[in-house]
Amino acid sequence: MMQAPRTEKRFDDRQHLAWAVACTLLLSGSWQARPAWGQDSARGELRIEGTHITKIILEGGDDSHREELSDPCGSVSLPVGTYRVQHIELQGGYACQAPGLVGLKSIAVMEGTPDVLKVGGPLRQEVKVRRQGRMLVLNYELLGIGGEKYSDTSRTKPPHFAVCKGDKAIASGQFEYG
């Protein structure tokens, strides 16, 4: 005669592991309650001084996340925290990546106290000339109002130059990218 299987409930290894992890998190204080989805966290204001900006990407905040601001104008509302500018795009296909943002300070967004970010236009052009043996080396930079360096992302029209003596052009040419 066959015996009926036991109906005794047992914990398997996965249930033991789940309980151990939950207890460890609760006892260590690593687990924290977060606001439910849809609840607003504290927000602050960031004023943007500059023109022709189509996109700004910020990294940081209190919970270390990414903020993408499309067509920012005047001021924007952001979660409270400290941010770093990672990327800026301007009209006309000009962009500035993190290495060109070395001079920009971090942004501190706080409730009730707006911070100011100076990026974008008006832009200024700088050409630095140095001698290297029998050659003149020309370095061109397109700078924003915060000192950030922009480059042309389209690369369809390389920049031109002309060397003038008085009103007469004595040499001209076109730069190559790279």
Residue pLDDT, tens place only, 86-125? 999 999 889 998 777 777 788 899 998 899 999 999 999 9
Single pTM value for the model = 0.66
Q: What percent of the chain has pLDDT over 70?
A: 75
Residue 32 is predicted with a pLDDT of 39
Q: What are phi and psi of 26, to 5 degrees?
A: -65, -45
Q: Are 81 and 60 in contact (CB under 8 A)?
A: yes
Residues sharing a CB contact under 8 Å with residue 138, sequence separation 6 or more, in sequence order = 127, 128, 129, 161, 175
